[in-house]
Structures are given as C-alpha cells and as structure tokens.
Structure 1
Amino acid sequence: MAHQVHIDVDKLDGLLAPFDSTSAPGFAVGVGLKGRPVYRRGVGLASIETSTALSPSIRMRIGSTSKHFCVLALMLLKEDGLLSLDDSPRLVLPELPAWADDMTIRQLMAHTSGMRDSLDILMLSAPPSAPIAADEQFKMLCQTKSVNFLPGNGWSYNNGGYVLLSMIIERLSGAPLGEFLRERIFLPVGMVDTMLRPLDTDLVPNSATLHVPDLSGGWRRGVMGAPVGGEGGIVSTVDDMLRWLAHMSTPRVGSAESWAEMRTPAASHGYGLGLMMGTYRGLSTVHHAGGVIGGSCQMLKVVDCDLDVIVISNGRNALDLYNLVDAIIDSCVADLPVIQQDTVGAVATGTYYSKNSGRVLKISENNGNPFMMINGMTLPAKRDRSGAYSVSIMPTDIRVMPDGPDFETLNAIEFERTDRLERVHPPASHSEKKELFGEYKSEISELFAFINGNVMRVSGVNGSQDYTLEQIGSDIWMATTQSFFPMLVTLEVSESGILMSSGRTARLHFKRQ
C-alpha cells in the first residue's frame, strides 16, 4: 500500500515546542523526502555555558550511528581486494588470543562474535568519563581468556568488536581511521562538517557541548574518557546527515553488493552489518541509534516512503528522542495502521534468574504499565495478546512469556533460543554474605574486586568504583553504583570465587585470592 506523505511544518514545530528551552540542551532535527531536505530545525541550547542556540548546522556526536560508516569503510577495503568478511580478525591482528581464530570480521560487524566487550569491562571499574590510554582496550582484549558465547551462537551488542574493526581499517589501509573516513566516505558525499572526534576534550570548532543531569537538578559536561573510533566517534550535523540519508537511497560510495550485505539481517531482530532493519506501524525502516555520555542520536529511513529522519540530542532524555522520532513519522505519513493496545491484566512483577545463563531479569509496574530491566537498563515494556513482554527501545527480539498463572517462572525467548528463569527471593537470613568477604582477581591482569560488608570495590587500569550489594536470592547478588552513570552487575557465587555479569559481559570469573 502506497502511503501519502505530507510535511506540515506547524505540526513538526509543535512536536519540538516542549523542548524549546533557553536553559537546557535540546534537539537538532532534520526531515528529508525523496532525497531533499524539507524540514530542519534546532531547539534548546548547544551549550548551557555560553547560551549558544542549537541549530541543524552545529556538529554533534552521533554515537553508535557511526558503526555503519565503520562497516562501509571495511566494505571499501573488501572491494579493494584487501580482506574477506569471513577472515578471522587474527589475520590482521595476530596479537589477539586464540579465541579469535574461530570468529570472523563479519561476526564482529554483526555483534555475533561472542567476544568480551572491552568498553563494558572498562566500565566495571570506573565511570565512562575516566581517562584511559588509546591502546588500553586492545591490551585488555589480548589478556582475556574467555568469551561471552561461542561465535555465531548468540547476539550481544559489542563496542569492543568495533574497536578491533577500527584497527583493521588502519592496518590494512595504512591511514588513520579519521583520514580514511574523510577521504573515502565523507568528502565524496559532500559531508564537509563530518569527522572523527576521538576525544570529547579535542577542540573542534562549531561543536555542541554534551550535557548530563547532575544530582542537584542542574547540568554537567558529558565526557567519554576512552578515545572512540568506529564504534561511536563520529561528529556530524543534521544537514550532513540528511545528505547521507539521501545518499543511502542511491549510493555512490560502496557497491550495490556491499550495501546489500550491510542491509541483510544477521540476527532475528533485524540487525545487519552496522545497520538495523525493522518496521514501524507496517512501514519498512533502516536505522541505527547512538548514545554517548550526554547525548543521543537516531538516524532512520522509512524505505516505503523514501522519508528520512535524523534527530540528535546533546543531553535530552533518550526516551524523549525515540518518542520524537516516532511522532515525526506519525505526523508525516498518512493512513498508518492503528497502534495495537497493550494487553491489560496482572503484571508478572518480580526478579527472575536463569541458572543456565546467569541472566537476571526484573519486571516492575508503574501506574499499571509494565517495565522490564534488561541488560541493566529499566525500559518500558509492551505486552501482547499472548501475554508476552517485549521492549522496543534496544536491539533485541526478546519475548518474555510467563509460564503459568502464578508467575513463578518465565521463558525468555531471544534469537530463537529459550531461557527458563525462576522467580528468586532474598533469603530470610543474610549470614551467607560473610562468605563473600575478601579479594578477587579476574583473568585480566589489573582487574580486581574487593568485598567488605555491603560494599564491593572494583579496581582496574582506569580507576575504581564502589557498588552497593543487595542479595536477591541464594548465592545471587545484585550490585549497583551510585554515580551519575549507574552501573549494575550481578554476582553468582562459584566454587573458586564469583562470576560477574553486566549488560554485555557474561559470567566473567573472579578468583578468590
């Protein structure tokens, strides 16, 4: 069915009106139709410090939206005859451990390699703002002995994989990543304001400041301590991203075969190679979101209508950003099907644990609406007619189905695999906590944990941070930090120590010393 597209500037202005502030960060928004910009606007401040207004021509971080640019760079090297996507990364990076022999460059692109995520491990021991040397993530990966899962046997979003992909580009091309991206991709498309910005402390003209809310109700700078490459280091403007979205319809950079591979789903939820294929209210979409410390981005193409949407924030809530993108599509496209209402009824509230995978999942309720804590993040959940819960904000096809009317067990179905979880309860006596006291060392040389009372301190090359422990079941603990960027991990007691899991790290072993 062909859908009518109508751009109503007043309606779009109305969607942005709640964020048009002279005292808070905001959004830069662009809409394109059939390759032409039809709406571009900024609301809020580019910098609270200088009271500079945000505009579509100001450089802003696009975060993980950078990933498909990184993939395209590798596709160009493939077209040059310098690599195969089915090569092991160890062919180019021989320093990697033997676990890399069985994984491929394609799996790194698709997040199906199963390798540990170096960025996630770094954040175990310090907040993401902690400075760290440029080569530290690679050194950490070279020290790891275990993996999250066997290559091709699962899907887990992995920034560390894109750290390796960035290094592969540099070694094969002989050029710094930023130079390769500029010369082979950005300039040929006319994206003159787009560039790689490894550090937030780099001085880049015409740039918006990143903002994070502080505990007093004000704002502070958002800064990423680790240098960022193809995993999320690009800054661009709304105007340049509209040029890029138009280019995606009729690419001049990259062959038709390369773009077809990028847009072929490698996982059941639609993730391809640096791009996500999906649907919104019956419309086919290609998109990739991005999040940084103090900013977020969503780049989306409605394929059926050749409608392009780019929204970038320098500090607004990411949920507001996703809702704004949806509202823009709703405003522009006519005759969309009615959104299916959630099923009502009792919510399966509680904390659930899988003995098989170590997964901990928490379902809560607020004003009758279900929320699901998954990978350490609490997100709004939807419930379909079968009673299954799902989330739409993050890339996963997980469906959580209560197994019986008492909600004592759940089945989490994700990527065509079923994981059985049982409701857990904190024991009446917390005397077992004494068994946790002591020091623990991980397989990574400088990553330690020390537990004393209700506090666990994790120390690494980039610093240390304290977690508050909460026992959620027999031999199972939840630990959270109290920083502006909260980190949540779970601990399972093992015979020789503890197994630590976070959003993108599965059962990293810490041996008791």
Structure 2
Amino acid sequence: MRWSLLPLLIALPAAAHAQALSPAEAAQVDRIVTEALAQSGTPSASIAIVRGGRLAYAKAYGKQSETVRTALTDAPYQIASVSKQFTAAALLLLEDEGKLSLDDTVAKYVPGITGGDRITLRQLLSHTSGLQDYWPQDYSFKAMSTPVTPQGIVDRWAKKPLDFQPGEQWQYSNTGYVVAGMIVEKVSGQPLLDFLNARIFRPLGITAYDQDLAIGPKFPQGYGRAALGPLRPVTPAARGWLYAAGELSMSASDLAKWDIARINRTVLPADDWLMQETAVKLNNGTDTGYGLGVTVGRGAGRKMIEHSGEAVGFLSENIVFPDDKAAVVVLTNTWSSGTYRVLAQKLVPVALPGTSAAAGDPADAASLAKVRTVFAQLQAGQLDRSLLTEDANFYFDTQNRADFRTSLAPLGAPREIVAIGKPSLRGGFVSRRFRANYPDRALNVSTFFEPGANGRIEQFLVTAADAQ
C-alpha cells in the first residue's frame, strides 16, 4: 500500500479553468491513456479529471478482467492506501463530536501496543508513531495467504519494539492505520465501513466496497508479472489484510466526488479539511510533508494534496489542487507497472494547462554489488537463497523464478545498473530503487534490504521502465 509523492509541479495557472473538456482535450486524454496502456502492457485504466470544482471527464479503458472485456467507467477498482484519508476523516469527525482527541494516546483505546502510552492518534495518522509497517513489500508475503484480523496484525507487528520514538521520525506505517481503524470502531460502535457510508459516502453519492468483497466476475481483476514475464492474474490477499490501511474499492468518478468535496469544503467542517492538509512536524520542528492520511506538496506556491495506493494487482494515484479546483484520479489493475504515475503526470496538464514536472532526486549508488549479483543469478536461473529473507524466498517460487529467467536471460547483461532516487526507511527495511539500462530499453529494480552492510534482500522486483 504504497505512498509516493509525485515530482513537484511547476508553472501552475493563476485561476481554475472551465470544467468541461473540449473535444480536442478529450481526444488528447484518450490518446494519452491508450498509448500508455499499449506501451506498458497495463490491462486497463480508469481515470477522472476535475476542473472548476466539477467532474470534467471520466472514462475507463482496456481489459478490466478475464470476464469483463468492455471497460466500465463505474467499475470499482481497489484504491488501497488512498483509503487512508477516509480513515483519518473518520477520526476527525469523532473528534468534532467530542468523543476523542487526536492528542489522546493509543493506550486509552487499544491496550498492549508498544509505546501506546506515548503514541498519539495524530502520530498514527501522520506516520510518526514508530510502529513498524506490516506490509512494506510490493508483493504478497507468505502470511497474506491466510485470513487475518486487525487484532492479529496488532499482535504481530504493533507489539514489537518501536522503530523510533514517537514523533522522532517519519516512516510510512500501515500498522498505525490498522490501530486507527480499531479506534474508530471502538469509539463509534460501528464497523469502519458502516461509519464511512453513513457520514461520508452516502451523503456524497459514493458507492464504496470492502475490497475483500470486490472480487469476482463483476469486478476488475488484479494482474502482475515476474520481471518481464507474461502478465498473469494475481491471487488476492486473504481477507482482512487491507482493513483501515487500504480496504476500499470505488470507481474513479466516485473518488473524484470526494476530491470535489475537498475542493468545495463540504461533508467535513472546513477546519477538518485544513487539519488533514496541514503537514505534521516532528518533535524537532522538521516538516514531514505529510498531513493526516495525505501528502502535502507545493508547486509554484500552490497547494497539492496527493496519495497513491497499492493493493494486490492494483495501483492508483489521486492528486488534488484545492486552490485551483482541479484533480486527477488514475486507477489501474496491475501492480507491475508505473503507468498509473505516468498517466497522472500526463493528465495533470489537462486539468491545469501549462503544468510541467520538475526533475527527480539525484541517483544513489549504494548496494549495487548485491543487486548486480542477484540480477545475474536470476537471469541464469540460479539463486543464492542465503541472500534473501524468508518472505523473499517465498516470493521466488518455481513459477516466478522461471518467469524471471525466461524473460531476462534473452536480454543479456545490462550495459549498466544504476541507483535512482534516495534510500528510505520502510517497515524496518531500507528501500532502494535501481535501473538496469540496455541499449534499447531500461528496467526498474525495486529492492528492500535489511539494515546494515550484511542485510538480506526482502524484495527484488523487476519491471519495464515506463515511457515518460
């Protein structure tokens, strides 16, 4: 359930544009999406564009499942961590009613959590609690094949030693949101989705599903691939693994209704919207760039609210420019392609003509030796399993190893493998990204390492580098 802030946007226009897309703009959007799907092999995408505080365009493209061959605009995709802002909104509403305070400690509501007498609800929502993330990987780890309860997640991950003292660092934690969801249910006396339906979704006309139930012939299906192997339907996680950290499925146009509510300051009190969109600071005063369930960015002095999401076989992006009354929603049904992000970057200029993207972070060359070794081993059909953690060994089963070998071996040795971006902490691991460059193509390599010079690999995923 990933979090990924898009590169900051520059050259934003001075005023909101008229909401309707012209025929030429609609044709441009269709071309952008269809070309991106064809280039990347992404099965389908559902998009929505908001201009002038109103829905300007919504359309679905491609193959949504093996049984739904004609893309339906109202089909509910799994939005995963985009759901976090709804969990945060539920706690804000309960605070409005005087039933809790975001400055309460976790121990007041959920016993037995490490540091629960020091962690506040605000720190849960802003990823500054120190609770270890239970799902940092971009694949289904072994335990996810078995159903789980929120308490089960808490017992396994929230009772470990803290990764840091509350408020000392920022580190994404799905675990913190599971705890937050449990608190919503305890204080409200309702299941989380029932509370959200009553207070947010029905008033906005949004049809939202528990994504554990949004599975079957009527719903979009998730797809994945091992390295450059064939695209295959993926097996959903067992029931309970997403919960308050990312349990929702909805259409792009329904998610846009929430974005419009944000723009127009409806359904929540205005001060709740402001609080959610205000970046939380660490104990030392450092700005985290993250509010309550949303990232907070700026481009050319303008506010940008964003969050992405990853479920098993799905990736999504949601970007809102509240002051410019514009938003872009992109939902895709594969987790093996960055097409969701590429599409969002290309559609923002349609929502806000004149926008362009700034350059990304400089590359970092750490951990290259081990990445090169494992990449070559996978090409050769060999794998030194002592280099991998238990979960990574679980991922590299017979089928995935074969797909890595058959798809990567014909490419030969890459011209170079370089680090891109900066390392970051995630779920107790160090996340590092690399790119394998060939004369005619490039591949992305996403890795998680255990901390330390001798840390084993928790994740090693290879995908095609999407056209920018």
| CA radius of gyration, larger in | 1
Q: CA 1:277–1:24 in 2, change beyond 3 Å: closer, same or farther?
A: closer
Higher-RCO chain (CA-CA 8 Å, sequence separation at least 6) = 2
Aligned to 1:27: 45
Deviation larger for 64-73 or 266-275:
266-275
Question: Among residues 188, 197, 206, which one is paired with 1:182 in the alignment?
Answer: 197
CA contact (8 A) 1:66 1:231 kept: yes
Alpha-carbon distance, 1:28 to partner = 0.3
Aligned to 2:130: 114
| Structure 1, unaligned runs of 5 or more | 353-363, 382-393, 395-466, 486-513
Counting only pairs closer than 5 Å after superposition, residues 206-355 of structure 1 correspond to structure 2 as 206-214=218-226, 216-225=229-238, 227=240, 228-267=242-281, 268-280=287-299, 283-315=302-334, 317-336=336-355, 339=358, 349-351=365-367
Aligned to 1:418: none
Aligned to 1:42: 60
> Which amino acid is 1:299 matched to?
N
* CA deviation string 1:335-371 (max 9, x = no partner): 446845988xxx763439xxxxxxxxxxx99588845
Paired residue secondary structure (2:245):
coil
Paired residue secondary structure (2:180):
helix
Alpha-carbon distance, 1:194 to partner = 1.1
Fraction of identical pairs, as percent:
22
Q: What TM-score does the superposition give when structure 1 sets the normalisation length? A: 0.65
Aligned equivalents of 2:59, 2:141: Cα separation in 1: 37
Aligned equivalents of 2:84, 2:310: Cα separation in 1: 12
Aligned equivalents of 1:282, 1:165: Cα separation in 2: 32
| Structure 2, unaligned runs of 5 or more | 1-12, 282-286, 369-413, 436-445, 464-468
Higher strand fraction (1 or 2): 1
> Which amino acid is 2:224 matched to?
V
Paired residue secondary structure (1:52):
coil
Aligned equivalents of 1:483, 1:12: Cα separation in 2: 30
Aligned equivalents of 2:216, 2:448: Cα separation in 1: 39
Higher helix fraction (1 or 2): 2
Paired residue secondary structure (1:297):
strand
Aligned equivalents of 2:15, 2:203: Cα separation in 1: 32
* CA deviation string 1:415-439 (max 9, x = no partner): xxxxxxxxxxxxxxxxxxxxxxxxx
Alpha-carbon distance, 1:106 to partner = 0.6
Q: CA 1:66–1:124 in 2, change beyond 3 Å: closer, same or farther?
A: closer
* CA deviation string 1:220-266 (max 9, x = no partner): 22412351211000111112112111111223322222221111101
* CA deviation string 1:137-186 (max 9, x = no partner): 12224642x11000110010000001101110111111111211111111
Aligned to 1:504: none
Paired residue secondary structure (1:29):
strand
Aligned to 1:105: 121
Q: CA 1:222–1:298 in 2, change beyond 3 Å: closer, same or farther?
A: farther
> Which amino acid is 1:212 matched to?
G
Q: What TM-score does the superposition give when structure 2 sets the normalisation length? A: 0.71
Aligned equivalents of 2:139, 2:35: Cα separation in 1: 36
* CA deviation string 1:447-481 (max 9, x = no partner): xxxxxxxxxxxxxxxxxxxx9999995xx233346
CA contact (8 A) 1:238 1:311 kept: yes
CA contact (8 A) 1:114 1:154 kept: yes
Aligned equivalents of 1:68, 1:316: Cα separation in 2: 21
Alpha-carbon distance, 1:125 to partner = 10
How much is the aligned-residue C-alpha RMSD, in angstroms? 3.6
Q: CA 1:320–1:208 in 2, change beyond 3 Å: closer, same or farther?
A: same
Paired residue secondary structure (1:178):
helix
Deviation larger for 74-83 or 309-318:
309-318
* CA deviation string 1:204-224 (max 9, x = no partner): 784211111246413122412
Alpha-carbon distance, 1:133 to partner = 2.5
Q: CA 1:102–1:266 in 2, change beyond 3 Å: closer, same or farther?
A: same
> Which amino acid is 1:207 matched to?
F
Alpha-carbon distance, 1:322 to partner = 1.1
Aligned to 2:400: none
Aligned equivalents of 2:156, 2:419: Cα separation in 1: 41
Aligned to 1:9: 26
CA contact (8 A) 2:220 2:333 kept: yes
Q: After TM superposition, where is structure 1 displaced by more than 6 Å over at least 4 residues in a row?
A: 122-125, 467-472, 482-485
Aligned to 2:154: 138
CA contact (8 A) 1:19 1:27 kept: no
Aligned equivalents of 2:140, 2:358: Cα separation in 1: 42
Aligned residues: 378
Alpha-carbon distance, 1:377 to partner = 4.3
> Which amino acid is 2:325 matched to?
D
Aligned to 2:393: none
Counting only pairs closer than 5 Å after superposition, residues 52-201 of structure 1 correspond to structure 2 as 52-97=69-114, 99-120=115-136, 126-127=141-142, 129-134=144-149, 135-141=151-157, 143-144=159-160, 146-191=161-206, 193-197=207-211, 199=212
CA contact (8 A) 1:78 1:85 kept: yes
